[in-house]
Structure 1
């Protein structure tokens, strides 16, 4: 089990544990801290976080900025990959293809990342499905983050 998943299991059930975990996780890639997201679920093949609408992530029309949504998708994908990648393999983000489908209105969006277990069985490209949904249930962002998964050298 990865160190990040172990940390999740130790902290997520504590009072304010998900926020504590998210703050620690944000140190792994400091730009994650800029969006003030809270990981709400982390398990193999799935991760979810809440990204609050704050002044620091708003665009000129008062919705969550597209790049803040991308940072949220990267954060969710990273949690999923750390919880899922077999110990004899490694992963590296390769590309991102995103469609912005609606305004990100509301006090927060929920960002999810998902894979299927069989995707991790072979080396090569692996598509992680990502999306962001407003509190009202409107999908405002969806796409794929492509990972390169390879066996660790022995």
Structure 2
């Protein structure tokens, strides 16, 4: 089991502090791995192989000139969800790196945004190094505000000599 998935399961299942506080602690720790993620203050909701979900709180620090959540903050949320999914899913003998992201913005982000990343079982274990991760951001009312694909390059880890 990956470090991210192990930490998630530990933090979200802490009986003394409760899963809500445990998830907040995990979210803070995850944001330290790639400090740019801290700019959106992600709140992870769920992480499991082939799926990750987090919330970007709508606050002034992520607003654009319209007072909605900025497009790049949305992309940052999708990338954080994808990174958590990748770490929770990838086999121990492989590594990943993003190759690109294609997204569309079908509606304004006028509330907190729930970002999800998904893959299909088996995508990580085949011979094809190209792994597309489906990503989506949704407003509180269910309206999709951003959706697309983050393309990963997944290759075997170099063998240590």
**Does residue 109 of the first structure (1) align with residue 113 of the second (2)?**
yes
1:5-154 paired onto structure 2 within 5 Å: 5-14=5-14, 15=18, 16-106=21-111, 108-122=112-126, 123-154=128-159
Rounded Cα–Cα distance in structure 2 between residues aligned with 1:28 and 1:13: 21
Partner of 1:2: 2
Aligned-partner Cα distance in 1 for 2:28–2:132: 27
The alignment's C-alpha RMSD in Å is 0.8
- Measured in 2, the distance between the counterparts of 1:75 and 1:12 equals 18
What TM-score results when the alignment is normalised by the length of structure 2? 0.93
Give the match's secondary structure for 2:92.
Answer: coil
Following superposition, which runs of at least 4 residues in structure 1 exceed 6 angstroms of deviation? Answer: none
Structure 1 alignment gaps of length 5 or more:
none
Q: How many residues align?
A: 153
Q: Which runs of 5+ in 2 are unaligned?
A: none
Q: How far, CA to CA, are the matches of 1:38 and 1:13 in structure 2?
A: 15
Q: Deviations over 1:107-133 (max 9, x none)?
A: x01000000012112241110000000
Compare the two structures and name the one with the higher strand fraction: 1
**TM-score normalized with structure 1 length:** 0.97
For the residue of structure 2 that corresponds to 1:27, the secondary structure is helix
